[in-house]
C-alpha cells in the first residue's frame, strides 16, 4: 500500500490533498500543529475511505519538530511527500534538507 506524508494537513490545500489521496487509497501521515483537528480529520478519512491514518503534531517553525518530521518523511513506507508550507525567507533553510524521494508541490497530484 502506498503512503503519503502531508504537512499542513488540517486546512486549505493540505486538507484537500489529504482527502484526495485518501480517496485514491493512500495511507496517510498527517502533520499539523492542532491535535484536535488532526484527530478529527484522521477519523473522518478512516471512516470515509478505509485507509490507515497516522497523526503527528508538529510546528515546522520549530527545529526539533522539523527533525522529527524529517525522520518520518525519510522512512521506507513513505512514497509521497506533500508539503504545502509557505515560509518566510529567513526560515526556508530549516526545511530545505528533509524532503525525501518523491516531492509534489502545491496543486499537482499524480494520476
Give residue-wise pLDDT tens across range 51-107.
Answer: 999 999 998 878 888 889 888 988 889 988 888 765 544 443 333 334 444 444 333
Q: Domain range spanning residue 19? A: 3-105
**How many structural domains comprise the chain?**
1
Helix (H/G/I), strand (E/B), else coil: 44: helix
Structure confidence at residue 91 (pLDDT)? 43
Instruction: Assess if residue 39 is contained within a domain.
Output: yes
Q: Check which CATH number belongs to the domain holding 62 and give it.
A: 3.40.50.720
CB 56, CB 69: distance < 8 Å? yes
Instruction: Assess if residue 110 is contained within a domain.
Output: no
Instruction: Assess if residue 77 is contained within a domain.
Output: yes
The span from the CA of 85 to the CA of 73, in Å, is: 15
Amino acid at each position: 500500500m502506498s503512503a503519503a506524508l502531508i504537512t499542513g494537513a488540517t486546512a486549505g490545500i493540505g486538507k484537500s490533498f489529504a482527502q484526495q489521496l485518501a480517496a485514491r487509497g493512500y495511507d496517510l501521515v498527517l502533520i499539523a500543529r492542532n491535535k484536535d483537528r488532526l484527530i478529527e480529520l484522521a477519523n473522518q478519512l478512516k471512516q470515509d475511505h478505509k485507509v490507515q491514518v497516522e497523526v503527528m503534531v508538529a510546528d515546522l517553525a520549530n527545529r526539533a519538530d522539523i527533525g522529527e518530521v524529517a525522520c518520518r518523511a525519510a522512512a521506507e513506507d513513505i512514497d509521497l511527500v506533500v508539503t504545502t508550507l509557505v515560509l518566510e525567507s529567513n526560515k526556508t533553510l530549516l526545511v530545505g534538507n528533509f524532503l525525501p524521494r518523491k516531492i509534489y508541490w502545491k496543486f499537482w497530484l499524480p494520476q
